[in-house]
Amino acid sequence: MTNPNNATITTVHRAEFTASDALKIPTLRILQDDGSLYDGATAPELDKDTALKMYDTMVFIRVLDERMLAAQRQGRISFYMQCLGEEATTVGSAAALSDQDMIMAQYREQGALRYRGFTLEQFMNQLFSNEKDLGKGRQMPVHYGSNAINYMTISSPLGTQIPQASGYAYAQKLRGLDALTLCYFGEGAASEGDFHAGLNMAAVHKAPVLFFCRNNGYAISTPANEQFVGDGIACRAVGYGMKAIRVDGADILAVYQATKMARDYALKHNEPVLLESMAYRLGAHSSSDDPSGYRSKEEEALWRKNDPIARFKAWLLKQGWLDEAADNAKTEQLRADILDALKVAEKVAKPGIEHLISDVYAEPIPALQQQLDELKAHIRKYPDAYPITAGRLD
Amino acid sequence: MAKMNMLQAINNALDLAMAKDDGVVCFGEDVGHFGGVFRATSKLQEKYGKARCFNTPLTEQGIAGFANGMAAQGMKPVAEIQFADYIFPAFDQIVNETAKFRYRSGNEFNVGGLVFRTPYGGGIAGGHYHSQSPEAYFAHTPGLKIVVPRDPYQAKGLLLASIACPDPVIFFEPKKLYRASVGEVPEEYYELPIGKAEVLQQGKDVTVLAWGAQMEIVQKAVEMAAEQGVSCEVIDLRSILPWDADTVAASVKKTGRLVINHEAPLTGGFAGEIAATIQKMCFLHLESPIERVCGLDTPYPLALEKEYVADHLKTFEAIMRSVNF
């Protein structure tokens, strides 16, 4: 018998539904708040250097977020997005990858970016959209990207990176590379059509992608229970014929272990895997958002205790890998370094006028060159109105 | 040289591109073993394997997103959207992603090498969901290139140029001509220039401009006008974006008159863009208002297709209005 419907046919003779909650996805937890492991849990294999790099990255991002949100409030940058409460999610998953793996992120994954080696100066240049920004000052703050470290430039439209990750990973497979693509997105973005399109295509075409859902409870103001009804996002993987794993997103050991396992599986079998990391977006959606309009201080206070950095720090102290006094001194130094870098970046000039038309195409088309020439003539006539470029048109 | 229809020329171009560069991959709905509903990818799976020529699930946004990802990795995906009428689920991926990939990343990443092939246009009794000409939506999007061939020779050379192009291209194929248009086509690899119009016939009284399947229609009108002693200069625009304003302007400066024909509805159609540019470039040379012969501002009809289309008679009338103004 052929199977034209591509489905199992288990026959019953009385009508019955399959329950909508038939599938219950467990959540992996390894590390407790006090730094000890849960009974039966095993810490992933993690050497001291890697563990400290993960910790330093989390601290770096926390301090950077504090400082740059303040800089936005001072009017020094136009916009910012912090990842408070989700540091373990992105750092733990990025640490489980190879540097050759492509990361396609949504926008709140600065932890992964920093872990890959994006420098403080590169962060600042992007945030100030100055002429040293790799993105040439074209995108709002936090839309980072770097070819050199395999971190795809962020795009604001939600979910568009999901089917792209499937295509990118398919190409990695065709090229025979020992690398895959990790794709971050939020539980809100999982409502976009691109989520369905991307997951289905990756499953059908056997593309090695790790679809990494950061379920942080909110899409701007919309809580997850107004976003979907099923059991989180992980249960959907099963519908696509894909393996899934759910982890506590504030538990960096769990995130690391799950991602490592998923990576090994995806590469070995050329299959996508869906990971769902359960955390809480402790900060506002962005500097333009005010959560007091949609959630209580009490709710936030409760989650504030669930600090991923404190939990990991407790474990590192237990390992005897962290010296608290030295760590505090290092953090103070980091604050000073960040402020210094900020002061440097905000004084760097904006991109020159030629970057208004460069990169639209590989080479400017004739109409664009003509438009630029006309614009330059106009600016020469009214230099005071265009202070950024008037003094350097040639 | 070999005699080929437009589908055979397209198939031949894809075959040569896949043989030349193993980064070229063809996919879309029914594109694999079946060779596409129009058979443009016929035998390619047999020749290059399932990994490089395959069916996708029925998801245009997925096809476009997948193509963006592949191209960003450095491959050259040639993605088929089965009908241009069905390209709209992919609109976000094309307009916000494909078109802006290089720009938004400061050239850290790009999707050059990506080609969306899609059959467009009417004349096949397809009604409003199998006949549309959506080029103007995309012409409003910096970062894309848009190409429309008129015959098998053009289709092959322009498709090969599109695949080799460092920018993403939407390649609109006039499906009415897939089998109807037959001509001599070189069997070897060749490219034709993107962004260059072609003067098909020299004339002195009026310039008649069109692209794709409409070239045959304006040719008929031009012959009717010739019987009335009117000498038409005929131009195939070939590329909608970037479009060759210089060639058109040089012609209009000579003839003093311009008639533009396209299948898509009048309002917001690409003829409006051409008319605006040419009146500025040629203002003192114009002897009459620029004429547009286009579809009506309605969805594409079925039973009344003949009445709707920008046919040779309407074009002939526009030519005569222009010269008798």
Pick from B223, B290, B284, B281: nearest CA to B247: B281
Q: What are phi and psi of A318, to 5 degrees?
A: -65, -35
What chain A holds in terms of domains, given with CATH numbers, is 27-36+43-345 (3.40.50.970), 353-392 (no CATH)
Q: What is the CATH number of domain B2-185?
A: 3.40.50.970
Q: Does residue A118 belong to the interface with chain B, where contact is any CB pair within 8 Å?
A: no
The residue type found at A326 is: A
Paired with B292 in beta bridges are B260
Shortest distance, CA A211 to any CA of chain B (angstroms): 14
pLDDT at residue A138 tops 80 = yes
Q: By CA distance, what is A357's nearest residue in B?
A: B103
Give catalytic status of residue A281 as yes or no. yes
* Closest Cβ–Cβ partner in A164, A201, A359 for B106: A359
Q: Does residue B89 belong to the interface with chain A, where contact is any CB pair within 8 Å?
A: yes
Kindly list the domain boundaries of chain B, sorted by start residue: 2-185, 198-323
Q: By CA distance, what is A154's nearest residue in B?
A: B105
Q: Which residues of B touch A362 (CB under 8 A)?
A: 102, 110, 112, 166-167
Q: Which residues of A touch B54 (CB under 8 A)?
A: 205
Tokens linked to B65: 């997103």
d(CA B293, CA B215) in angstroms, rounded, equals: 13
- Beta strands in chain B, from DSSP E residues, in sequence order: 2-5, 24-28, 53-55, 76-80, 115-120, 145-147, 169-174, 182-185, 198-201, 206-210, 232-236, 239-241, 258-265, 291-295
Buried b (16+ CB within 10 A) or exposed e, A155-185: beebbbbbbbbbbbbbbbbbeebebbbbbbb
Shortest distance, CA B29 to any CA of chain A (angstroms): 12
The percentage of chain A sitting over the pLDDT mark of 90, rounded to a whole number, equals: 97
Asked whether A98 and A298 are in contact (CB, 8 A), the reply is no
> Can you tell me which residue has the tokens 């098998």?
B152
Pick from B90, B82, B179, B84: nearest CA to B122: B84
Residue B187: CB atoms within 10 A of its CB come to 11
* Closest Cβ–Cβ partner in A147, A174, A367 for B75: A174
Instruction: Provide the chain B residues 127-156 that lie in CB contact (below 8 A) with chain A.
Output: 142-143, 145
> Which residues of B belong to the active site?
60, 130
Catalytic: which of A236, A246, A285, A311? A285
Asked whether B94 and B87 are in contact (CB, 8 A), the reply is yes
Q: Which residues of B touch A205 (CB under 8 A)?
A: 54, 56, 66
- Count how many Cα atoms sit within 13 Å of the Cα of residue B17 in the half-sphere of its side chain: 32
d(CA B157, CA B153) in angstroms, rounded, equals: 6
Instruction: Provide the chain B residues 191-210 that lie in CB contact (below 8 A) with chain A.
Output: 195
Q: In which residue ranges of chain B is pLDDT below 50?
A: none
Shortest distance, CA A176 to any CA of chain B (angstroms): 12
Asked whether B262 and B208 are in contact (CB, 8 A), the reply is no
Q: By CA distance, what is A173's nearest residue in B?
A: B51
Tokens linked to A357: 């038309």
Q: Does residue A369 belong to the interface with chain B, where contact is any CB pair within 8 Å?
A: no
Q: Which residues of A touch B108 (CB under 8 A)?
A: 134-135, 145-147, 153
Q: What is the mean pLDDT of chain A?
A: 97
For residue A114, is it left (φ>0), alpha (ψ between -120 and 50) or beta?
alpha
Instruction: Provide the chain B residues 284-303 that lie in CB contact (below 8 A) with chain A.
Output: none
Shortest distance, CA A243 to any CA of chain B (angstroms): 20
Q: Match domain B198-323 to its CATH number in 3.40.50.150, 3.30.9.10, 3.30.70.120, 3.40.50.920.
A: 3.40.50.920
The per-residue pLDDT for range B146-174, each reduced to its tens digit, is 999 999 999 999 999 999 999 999 999 99
Q: Do B65 and A166 touch (CB under 8 A)?
A: yes
d(CA A102, CA A182) in angstroms, rounded, equals: 6
Buried b (16+ CB within 10 A) or exposed e, A235-248: bbbeebebbbbbbb
Q: Which residues of B touch A196 (CB under 8 A)?
A: 59, 62
pLDDT computed for residue B62 by the predictor: 98
Chain A interface test: which of B18, B21, B103 (most A C-beta within 10 Å) = B103
pLDDT computed for residue B98 by the predictor: 98
d(CA A121, CA A344) in angstroms, rounded, equals: 9
pLDDT computed for residue A119 by the predictor: 98
Q: How far is CA B32 from the centre of its chain?
A: 24
d(CA A71, CA A53) in angstroms, rounded, equals: 26
The per-residue pLDDT for range A219-237, each reduced to its tens digit, is 999 999 999 999 999 999 9
Instruction: Provide the chain B residues 238-277 that lie in CB contact (below 8 A) with chain A.
Output: 242, 245-246
d(CA A186, CA A183) in angstroms, rounded, equals: 10
Q: By CA distance, what is A144's nearest residue in B?
A: B105
d(CA B59, CA A200) in angstroms, rounded, equals: 9
Pick from A57, A64, A118: nearest CA to A89: A57
Q: Which residues of A touch B195 (CB under 8 A)?
A: 365-366
Q: Does residue B324 belong to the interface with chain A, where contact is any CB pair within 8 Å?
A: no
Q: Do B56 and A205 touch (CB under 8 A)?
A: yes
The per-residue pLDDT for range A34-87, each reduced to its tens digit, is 999 999 999 999 999 999 999 999 999 999 999 999 999 999 999 999 999 999
The per-residue pLDDT for range B30-84, each reduced to its tens digit, is 999 999 999 999 999 999 999 999 999 999 999 999 999 999 999 999 999 999 9
Q: Does residue B113 belong to the interface with chain A, where contact is any CB pair within 8 Å?
A: no
* Closest Cβ–Cβ partner in B54, B69, B102 for A167: B69
d(CA A274, CA A244) in angstroms, rounded, equals: 5
Asked whether A137 and A351 are in contact (CB, 8 A), the reply is yes
Q: What is the DSSP letter of A367?
A: H
> Can you tell me which residue has the tokens 């540091």?
A87
Q: Which residues of A touch B67 (CB under 8 A)?
A: 167
* Closest Cβ–Cβ partner in B25, B69, B109 for A166: B69
Instruction: Provide the chain A residues 189-228 that lie in CB contact (below 8 A) with chain B.
Output: 193-194, 196-198, 200-201, 204-205
3-state secondary structure of B80: strand
pLDDT computed for residue A324 by the predictor: 94
Shortest distance, CA B156 to any CA of chain A (angstroms): 23
pLDDT computed for residue A394 by the predictor: 83
Using only C-alpha atoms, what is the Rg of chain B?
19
Q: Which residues of B touch A150 (CB under 8 A)?
A: none
Residue B206: CB atoms within 10 A of its CB come to 28
Tokens linked to A34: 């006090």
Q: Which residues of B touch A136 (CB under 8 A)?
A: 106-107
Specify burial of residue A348 (Cβ count, 10 A radius: 0-12, 13-18, 19+): middle
d(CA B65, CA B71) in angstroms, rounded, equals: 10
d(CA A284, CA A84) in angstroms, rounded, equals: 9
pLDDT computed for residue A159 by the predictor: 98
Q: Which residues of B touch A165 (CB under 8 A)?
A: 69
d(CA B151, CA B212) in angstroms, rounded, equals: 8
Q: What's the pLDDT band for A1 if we cut at 50, 70, 90?
A: low
Q: What's the pLDDT band for A9 if we cut at 50, 70, 90?
A: confident
Whether the ipTM is more than 0.85: the answer is yes
Q: Does residue A172 belong to the interface with chain B, where contact is any CB pair within 8 Å?
A: yes
Asked whether B198 and B248 are in contact (CB, 8 A), the reply is no
- Strand B206-210 and strand B258-265: the pairing is parallel
Strand order in the sheet with B76-80: B53-55, B24-28, B76-80, B115-120, B169-174, B145-147, B239-241
